[in-house]
Amino acid sequence: MYSKGIAFLFFSCIACVSVFSQSPVKYRVYFKNKANQQFDPHTYFDAKAIERRARQGLSLFDSTDFPVNPSYLNEVERRVETLKMHSRWLNAAVVMATPEQMAAVSNLPFVSAVEQASGVLCLPASRDDESLPPLKKAEEMQRQIERMGASDLQTQGLHGKGVRIAIFDVGFSGADKHPAFVHLFQNQQIKGTRDFVKKRDYVYEGGWHGTAVWSCIAGKNPEGRWLGLAMDAEFLLARTELERSEPFAEEEYWVAAAEWADKNGADIINSSLGYTENRYFPEQMNGKTAFISRGANMAARKGILVVNAAGNEGSGDWGIIGAPADADSVLAVGGVEPCCDYHIEFSSFGPTADKRLKPNVAAQGRTLSAKSSGFSTVDGTSFASPLMAGFAACMWQKYPALKNMELFRLLEKSGHLYPYFDYAHGYGIPHPSRFNSEAPPEPTFNLVKDTAAAHYTVVINPSHFDSSATEFSQLLYVSEVDSRNHLIAYRVVDVSTTEPYVFKYSPFNPISRLRLHYKGYTFEQAIP
């Protein structure tokens, strides 16, 4: 259905080297409880974190926020080579140890489980395109936010004010001196920074990727035109990635950063990162296996909206979404072409291994973004994700009483395809005009069944057909659905004429329903 080509990955791997080492190796140690731990939320949390919990009816005394028992950590540390980090949320420690040492640790009465971590190193790949002329770049920049209702948001004064967004990335090289972010520094909108790789607060190095991502939320070009939608939001910037390799430590950094972001009052986490074939098998993309996915789901339990790029594996051998986009409480964002609402070839496909819908929504997968210096067009769901995070911040500004998962569902419902979905586009591109709206759509086509010939005919309503439209601007989405609402097959048809479209079916196949969408109207037909 979709053409195959070269995949340009946000942090996928073009060169990988397995790390074979003698002992010690890395393990995760999980504890049974947090016995005798004291916790004062009012001294631990930023006021914004307490405000978020109060607003969403969450307890300030959730045991997952309590510290890990220090005596447990001390006992483990005495028996291993190195204790590298520990997680309150997962009640776990990460250590370097020999198998013999871990055998002793696993026998400790307060240890519930141990597991060995991956030892794969790989090099990241990315792409940017300097070839577009300035006018073309300006046009692409306007599309990336206008398709998500920038004009409507501006009219309503919605720019993410009062919403705090944490960004996890490889680094933010040059961002502290870049003209795209001057307004954010002048207005003191950066509320915290942390480099979890080097264990310090300075984050303005490491790579341009985070700089580009940040610009797709709140940056502007030298002419003062916006690159993102949430220019009034507050920000927490975290470096969780190594630019030239992806050891397992990056998942640990991500979880540590999520706990830090929660503590410091983040409402939204944007993560344009992911882990796939060099660490996991496809059947492990179930939202429960990967360390990072478990951490992401825990962040959602704290009332944070976690927005994550679906991944850029769509035209590669892996093909599907990675972790933590596989987590059930993570809003996974796929990419579409700048020209239209059609899946961009590298964007990863769903569903999850356990057949849940992914991606959930979509945004433009090619954007104009800031780099370490200057601006460039860049490809990747890495940049669709921050566009979505910015849109979400604007909607949370308008509806501050929403809980995070209520916002999650309304973002899905505001997608241009909803209630239609497929595993390439999710529910489509959200727009403020569809957010929290129950207006019934006008029918744009008719579906005629011919039982004798075992086919359906789609007849486009001529009043909804534009004969002057360009290629891929009038798309008919068709999916075949089983009794569990899982998609068996789906396709996208470029409607270039009002001639009827015929879809054959077999009465002996497992298809339960045929679902179609064209220009805002979705129709379902049961198949006997």
Q: Per-residue pLDDT tens for 100-124?
A: 999 999 999 999 999 988 655 433 3
E strands, 117-160, are 120-124, 128-129
Amino acid at 455: H
Determine phi and psi for 46, rounding to 5 degrees.
-65, 155
What mean pLDDT is predicted for residues 8-18? 34
What mean pLDDT is predicted for residues 432-439? 88
Q: Over 50: is that where the pLDDT of 16 sits?
A: no
What mean pLDDT is predicted for residues 128-144? 56
Question: Which tokens go with 461?
Answer: 């309503």
Question: What pLDDT sits at residue 74?
Answer: 97
Question: Which tokens go with 500?
Answer: 């009827």
Note the CATH number of domain 134-434: 3.40.50.200
Q: Quote the CA–CA distance of 390 and 398 in Å, as a whole number.
A: 13
Question: What pLDDT sits at residue 136?
Answer: 54
Note the CATH number of domain 445-526: 2.60.40
| 20-118 homologous superfamily | Peptidase S8 propeptide/proteinase inhibitor I9 (3.30.70.80)
* pTM summary value: 0.91
pLDDT digits (tens, 9 = 90+) for 302-356: 999 999 999 999 988 899 999 999 999 999 999 999 888 899 999 999 999 999 9
Amino acid at 81: E
Could you state, in order of their start, the residue ranges of all structural domains in the chain?
20-118, 134-434, 445-526
Q: Quote the CA–CA distance of 237 and 219 in Å, as a whole number.
A: 14
Question: What pLDDT sits at residue 118?
Answer: 64
Question: What pLDDT sits at residue 513?
Answer: 87
Length of the chain: 528
- Average pLDDT of the chain to the nearest whole number: 88
- 12-26, 167-181, 213-227: least confidently modelled range: 12-26
pLDDT digits (tens, 9 = 90+) for 164-217: 999 999 999 999 999 999 999 999 999 999 999 999 999 999 999 999 999 999
- 88-102, 285-299, 428-442: least confidently modelled range: 428-442
pLDDT digits (tens, 9 = 90+) for 467-517: 877 777 789 999 999 989 999 999 999 888 888 888 877 666 777 889 999
pLDDT digits (tens, 9 = 90+) for 454-470: 788 999 998 888 887 77
What mean pLDDT is predicted for residues 13-19? 35
Q: Over 70: is that where the pLDDT of 452 sits?
A: yes
Is residue 131 very low, low, confident or very high in pLDDT (cuts 50, 70, 90)? very low
DSSP secondary structure string for all residues of 128-139: EE--S-HHHHHH
Q: Over 50: is that where the pLDDT of 8 sits?
A: no
Amino acid at 527: I
Question: What pLDDT sits at residue 14?
Answer: 31
Amino acid at 317: D
pLDDT over 90 percentage in the chain: 70
What mean pLDDT is predicted for residues 66-90? 97
Q: Please give the C-alpha separations between residue 180 and each of 37, 136, 377, 385, in angstroms, as whole numbers.
A: 45, 19, 14, 19
Q: In what order do the strands lie in the sheet with 111-116?
A: 82-87, 92-97, 25-31, 111-116
What mean pLDDT is predicted for residues 51-70? 96
Strand 92-97 relative to strand 82-87, pairing: antiparallel
Sign of the torsion formed by the C-alpha atoms of 241, 243, 246 and 248: negative
Question: What pLDDT sits at residue 376?
Answer: 87
